[in-house]
Structure 1
């Protein structure tokens, strides 16, 4: 259903995927984290989500978008193809305002002020 039989074995391995699908047993959030199905568990999910949103909002937008795209497509490429893509993306992003601001801020030992440009 919705690709679960393709996605789940990749995330948790065939044995765990088989057990989860065949038994229908409930899975705790902590166990899902341990299996790599989810990234984190928080007692206050709303506060954790807001904190993550604030952290990401202060980061270089174009670099985050490019990283997400590279990660999502990685399984369809060989290592050599992926290295070529990374090179191309890094070369392109090296001309952005945020890259220049990040390097400048690092050299000046101050927090970067990214603008998504």
Structure 2
């Protein structure tokens, strides 16, 4: 076995292990209870189900767009925009960019008193 074949075999094995680990992490994510809430229970009570889904997405991926909300939540552009703006007005999310390229991310300076562990 030459060096190139050996390297190729090692890479294939590593990718296989990574895929297995990703599947395992996904399974454990669903089995483990939530250990950290993003907002206090008082604020969470004010959020609708779509806004809670939006927050889950932002925590998982780092950002969310109006387009993602429209496609995933099956809502109109106006409804998606309204939900995102409401989260921004609540100081949970902040918008970055402008126009069609705007994304929404978590506010960076959420204090420990606003987070339930």
With normalisation by structure 1, the TM-score equals 0.30
Q: Which structure carries more relative contact order (alpha carbon 8 Å, separation 6+)?
A: 2
| Bigger strand fraction | 2
Greater helix fraction, Structure 1 or Structure 2: 1
TM-score, length basis structure 2 = 0.30
